[in-house]
Structure formats: structure tokens, C-alpha cells
Chains A and B, each alone.
Chain A
Amino acid sequence: MEETIWKAVPAIYLTEEPIAVDEVIAAVNSENAGAVDVFIGTVRNSTKERKVVRLEFEAYDSMALREMEKLAQQVRERWPVEKIAIHHRKGVLQIGEVAVVIAVSTPHRKEAFAACQFAIDTLKQTVPIWKKEIFEDGQIWVAAHP
């Protein structure tokens, strides 16, 4: 009989492969939790009425992982978090694909919502990852210019 090989899912992860949302959720499973809040960021097909063809994400891997760890730590300090997992994609992403998944488990739902929202808002401000939008007639690094 074949043995089942359990793949350990890291809490903090950067990957060029598609993110398995169910694995991120499973990573925050806890018997002490009464709530799991999940944020899934996906690739939208337009920006300011301009049609987006695909996105390209670039990361400063070593620092991005460190900032994601710091962010997870900040979340743990502010809310009674059982577990938190943050997975971010990099490379080329097509419309509808998942770019980021954040899952937080807490004893009660209110904290899970708040912690998850803080996590995605802060990630967008501090983690060194860059998004390039590719349009049919050009491309732009998001937020680069005022």
C-alpha cells in the first residue's frame, strides 16, 4: 500500500506556481478557532476602463518573505490569532488567477475579519512586491508614478 505523503504547507510563502487556496486555509486550522477569515486577491480584467491582458509580479524574495513574517507577527500582537498564513504569487498571472491568499484563524469572527483586513492593507504598503499591468497597447508598473 502506498503511504500518503503529507506536504507541510508553509505559513509564509512566495511561489511561481498557482496558489492552492484550500491548502492555505488548512494551514490555519485550529481547534481553538471559531472563525477563519480568508482574503483572496485575484487578477481583474480592467483598470480605469482599460483592458488588462495579464499581470506580472516581481518580488525581492528574501526581503518580501521577511516583511511577510513581520506582518504576521504584527497581526499576532494585535489580535488573539490562532494561526495566520500568507501566500503570494509571482511571475505571470492571467485574468482571474489568484495573486494572494491570507487566512487568519481566531476564537471569534470579529477578530478574524479585522486581522485579515489589516494584513492585506499592510501587505500592500510594506511587502516589496511589484505588479506590472500589461494592456493591449502598453504596460505600466502599478503605483510607480503619482
Chain B
Amino acid sequence: MKLNILMFGITKDIIGQSKLAFELPDRSTVPDLIASLKAKYPALKDLSSMMIAVNNEYGQKDQTLQESDEVALIPPVSGG
């Protein structure tokens, strides 16, 4: 499946774009996506944390992704 992943903050700088088309095997989970992204973009490993948001909610550990999901990469937040 092909995900269109939204990038924010430092992840946008690391990956060089605000929306990344990313190929993943069907039935991949949130941790699968994190591992694949870190393998392709090693600079992501240097971040204090990295979360995945699925349809505007923080993704759960065992959550399976679907092509229709709105997926976003959430580096450490720093609002306020």
C-alpha cells in the first residue's frame, strides 16, 4: 500500500518535503512504519521521540495501517 505521510517540524526538514508518498506492505503496523522510516532516513533516529498519528489520534503500538488513513509523523512537540 502507498501512504501519504504528513511531515511536521524537524521531520519536514529531515525528509525535505511536507508530504511523503511511502510504500509499505499491506497490514503494516505503526511500529513497522516507524522502523521503515528510520531505515530510510537515519537522521530520524537522532530525535528525542517520534510518534505516528493516525486519523488525528496518536497511533497505538499494535495498530494496523490502511491506505485510506491520514498518517502523520509527529516529532517531539514543543508548543506553549
Please give the residue numbers on chain A whose beta carbons come within 8 Å of chain B beta carbons, in ascending order.
41, 57-60, 62-64, 66, 88, 99-100, 120, 123-132, 141-146
Contacts and interface: CB of A to CB of B under 8 A. Distances in A.
Contacts of A125: 77
A interface, by DSSP: helix, strand, loop or mixed? Answer: mixed
Nearest to A62: B56
Given A145-B46, A145-B47, A146-B48, A124 B79 contact: yes
Interface size class of B (residues with CB under 8 A): 10 to 19
A100 to B, nearest CB: 5
Interface of B: 6, 8-10, 13, 46-48, 53, 56-57, 72, 74-80
Nearest to A59: B79
A143 B78 contact: yes
Given A60-B6, A63-B72, A143 B79 contact: no
A63 B72 CA distance: 10
Contacts of A132: 9
A57 B46 CA distance: 22
5 contacts: A99-B80, A120-B80, A124-B80, A131-B78, A141-B9
B65 to A, nearest CB: 16
Contacts of A63: 53, 56-57, 72
- Nearest first, the 4 A-B pairs at minimum CB distance are A129-B79, A130-B9, A142-B78, A141-B10
Contact of B8 (A58, A124, A145): A58
